[in-house]
A and B are shown apart, each in its own frame.
Chain A
């Protein structure tokens, strides 16, 4: 290195270029940091499940002729009310949309949640309390052998009716 070059490198007007040693040091440091962060993110991916234990959400409720016209049947395990009227079948989930308690159906057909007092009318619409949205109506279908099947993770419009012959 000549004296002239040396002068340029150290002058105030030119920022001295990074030396090879600086570059390698910085590259090593940042690769280590990036590797550590990525490893942490990768490890934290583990608790995020890709399969859920209740992945089969479709539940057989019974043959249509089991339920009389005008009846209301409660399935406590899947927290579901099944109604039958002249038009057909419909099902509503009694899980409160506020914080997941089970709302109780009153004699007048309204729903009342015991945990924080949310109230819903017969159509599941919010009538009072903190619930952010109405109770969820569930999709009903007929299985090939003619059973009524409810999809507990579905969300269809209020009072969606499944037509079914007796």
Chain B
């Protein structure tokens, strides 16, 4: 590496001073040719081996793919308990999905006559096709799970506060996009499950009619039908819907998601890195035994510069380590674990493929993928409330959290400390009791239509007053009460988020395990009637 930054041409004389017959140029040509591999490498990587602090900084700073990272990273950021690696895992899953997705596109045919057959080809004929499809399916499920867990992590460590408020909103958009990607991909195999899940989904898009019908404005303003027609390009799920979902799944949504992921990561960097608690900047005796914790003589401060609460002058180097190679190890480890887990799942477990879509007979029960099953339980009370209004309220409510809770204390701490842990615990008990109580009540006694006195209430009453809306109202009340009692908006936010999280988990479990044919309650699948 002696010649880094140097010039490999061996100029004896400037060319215009050379006389005819002088062999200088030819000699240059020969030695240039011989040293071309080295010159090529040096023209790509324009710094030395990352042994010095300067070269380590340059490795990060002058690489297009790495320069979104700071050259030095706070020690707190690479502690396992800070992020659990969930953001990186989500990104890795997205990349796996892009790669396997493009490979699947080589054989998949988005046509109602051929889609199912091409799925069978991929599963049984195409070399590695089964593995690629399995990995694609499990990665899609894992990405939804990772996005949710990542969101919970960001929430409970208060990473949504200023200056990271808008990045939380972008995260919400990415959450919705991830669900959109999963939902559009769900139709493509064109099997029974796909067909009926998307039929239900498209009719949820139409369900605002429930409200417009009730107030008698459907004939003037039929937003429900409009949404369904734009989504399906028809009134039933068919060829038009398949090609629309395909375009959304392989082009529109991935491109938008890629752009927003870029913005999401870029803002982490601009907002001063990962959120960290104030005690993370206090000197302690126990510094981790990493190779280069010692403060270097020169900081290359401009390259390390980021916006944050300014550390004390000349102390910006404390508690930081060079990103290369320490953070790269962490990213590499998270990547390898994620890829390994997906390969393992894909190798041992086949992605389901039901029989070919049959528009005349629905699956019984027709269950959506697990992340929509909680919603499906709510939808079984009211299509509009469960499928449109409550999800919209949840997404809007979560998006507004950073603007409603601006308390600056205790960021970067899980649950913002002991008080928050207690609120989260009590709220999870409250959430569990109300959700289980509501489910028990609904299964045991039914709802308005099952009771003689209220059997004929107008639809608007059932739309507005059903187990789902009652739950949301209880959760909202609980969080406002927490804000008041604890005199803290952060505690109220923890209460609300915990209630929704617990509600989501219990509803998902309940709809997965305890709902059977005709959406009736069963203790287990073995109790389902045989037919």
Separation of A99 and B197 alpha carbons in the complex (Å):
10
Total A-B contacts with CB atoms under 8 angstroms apart = 104
- The interface residues of chain A lying within 8 Å CB-to-CB of B520 are 117
Asked whether A100 lies within 8 Å of B200 as measured between CB atoms, the reply is: yes
- The interface residues of chain A lying within 8 Å CB-to-CB of B361 are 76, 102
Separation of A121 and B423 alpha carbons in the complex (Å):
48
Task: Answer whether A116 and B519 are a contact pair too, CB < 8 Å, given A47-B244, A99-B204, A127-B449.
Answer: yes
- Shortest distance from the beta carbon of B248 to any chain A beta carbon, whole Å: 10
Contact with A along B174-201 (1 / 0, CB 8 A): 0000000000000000000000100110
Quick one: closest A residue to B201, CB to CB? A99
Asked whether A115 lies within 8 Å of B230 as measured between CB atoms, the reply is: no
Interface flag for A60 (CB, 8 Å): no
Task: Answer whether A98 and B383 are a contact pair too, CB < 8 Å, given A79-B360, A129-B449.
Answer: yes
Interface flag for A20 (CB, 8 Å): no
Task: Answer whether A101 and B360 are a contact pair too, CB < 8 Å, given A54-B234, A112-B518.
Answer: no
Interface flag for B203 (CB, 8 Å): yes
Separation of A114 and B364 alpha carbons in the complex (Å):
5
Q: List 30 A-B contacts (CB under 8 A).
A: A48-B230, A49-B229, A49-B233, A49-B240, A53-B233, A53-B239, A76-B361, A77-B359, A99-B203, A99-B204, A100-B200, A100-B202, A100-B203, A101-B362, A102-B360, A114-B365, A114-B366, A115-B196, A116-B519, A117-B519, A117-B520, A128-B450, A129-B449, A130-B379, A130-B380, A132-B383, A132-B384, A132-B463, A133-B213, A153-B235
Asked whether A117 lies within 8 Å of B518 as measured between CB atoms, the reply is: yes
Asked whether A53 lies within 8 Å of B238 as measured between CB atoms, the reply is: yes
Interface flag for B160 (CB, 8 Å): no
- Shortest distance from the beta carbon of A40 to any chain B beta carbon, whole Å: 15
Asked whether B446 lies within 8 Å of A128 as measured between CB atoms, the reply is: yes
Interface flag for A14 (CB, 8 Å): no
Which A residues are closer than 8 A to B by beta carbons?
A: 47-49, 52-54, 76-77, 79, 98-102, 112-117, 126-130, 132-133, 153
Which B residues are closer than 8 A to A by beta carbons?
A: 196, 199-200, 202-204, 206-207, 209-210, 213-214, 226, 229-230, 233-236, 238-240, 244, 359-366, 376, 379-384, 387, 446, 449-450, 459, 462-463, 466, 517-520
Quick one: closest A residue to B382, CB to CB? A130
Separation of A38 and B361 alpha carbons in the complex (Å):
44
- Shortest distance from the beta carbon of A57 to any chain B beta carbon, whole Å: 9
Knowing that A53-B240, A132-B382 touch, tell me 19 more A-B residue pairs with CB under 8 angstroms: A47-B230, A48-B226, A49-B234, A53-B239, A54-B234, A77-B360, A79-B360, A98-B383, A99-B199, A99-B383, A112-B518, A114-B362, A115-B196, A115-B365, A115-B519, A116-B376, A130-B380, A132-B209, A133-B459
- Shortest distance from the beta carbon of B373 to any chain A beta carbon, whole Å: 12
- Shortest distance from the beta carbon of A120 to any chain B beta carbon, whole Å: 12
Asked whether A132 lies within 8 Å of B459 as measured between CB atoms, the reply is: yes
Separation of A129 and B382 alpha carbons in the complex (Å):
9
Separation of A54 and B234 alpha carbons in the complex (Å):
7
Partner of A130, one of B360, B362, B383, B518: B383
Quick one: closest A residue to B209, CB to CB? A132
- The interface residues of chain B lying within 8 Å CB-to-CB of A48 are 226, 229-230
Partner of A115, one of B366, B449, B450, B466: B366
- Which among A76, A100, A112 has the greatest number of chain B C-beta atoms within 10 A? A100
